Structure 1
Amino acid sequence: MHAYLTFCALLDDLPPWLANPDSYSAPDEAVALQYRRSFWAQKTNLIVTYHCFRLAIIRQAEKHGLCHLFGLTNDGSMLAMRRLKISNDMLLAVKSVPFESLQANGEPGAEKLRQAGVELFGIAHQTDDQVLAARANALFSQLLDVITSLNSKVSEELAGILAL
């Protein structure tokens, strides 16, 4: 439990240049701009990776019947709601960073977004709860828009899933 709480706090104490990349300054503005871009790319990678790990932890807890360690039950609807919340958190974070920082993360970044898309697609098509399915579809659509705008191999794969 201590390790999970430590994990949950990982993004709470980022160094100032990652907490707010736009606050970085240097005497040479061109240098400062380059550093800011690099810091945004790093921050974006950290945020997206963090949410991917959150999804993986919930998935593994469910698989091994350990959801009670996170204050959850092994109820499918409750776990779907948690996965929707995490996916929504990721989507909000992705929309809050400069688009070029998403692009800078390339295919590995797009693959992490795809993982959330797969979770959402699974919820939408495996749950009997129409409200959960509708929410998953709405988030999936928004995430697909982001991934598609990255023009990556991952967007082609997700488009193929939709065609099924």
Structure 2
Amino acid sequence: MLDLRDVTLVGESIGGVLALTVASALPDRVKAVVASNPYDYDRRYADGVRRGNVFANIAIGSYAIPIFGAINAALENRLFLGWVLRGGFYDKRNLPRDLLAEFDRVGRRRGFRYVERKTFAGWRSWNKARALYKNVKAPVTFVYGDHDWSKPA
């Protein structure tokens, strides 16, 4: 076990929630937290991603349906992924092709789709994480952009 102290935690999206909840659980070990667009606002399964566009809403929403969702997730391809991800961009041209290719490659790893669906399935706990933030003793920097999709739709 590592005996880490004076740690700075940095996370984006769900990682921002994780950084904040870890800092709340281990306040004497964390010296600072940077949370970029923490994903703690869902009102339904995969809400943040689904707000990107109509296609993302239907496709990603289907992942919550038993059996059918697993099949849809397994059928995901680079074209589909690009449509979904571009929904989160203010300027749709700003999704680099090499980044999309990397996301596609990683998404094809064995077990990835299962983990992805299970992560989305935990959405109800993300809102509850906010109650833990008051226990964070370290300085916290929240980072949001002018056009973040975490802003109310």
Question: TM-score by structure 2 length?
Answer: 0.29
Q: Give 1 or 2: higher helix fraction.
A: 1
**Greater fraction of residues in strand:** 2
Return the structure number with greater relative CO, CA threshold 8 A, min gap 6: 2
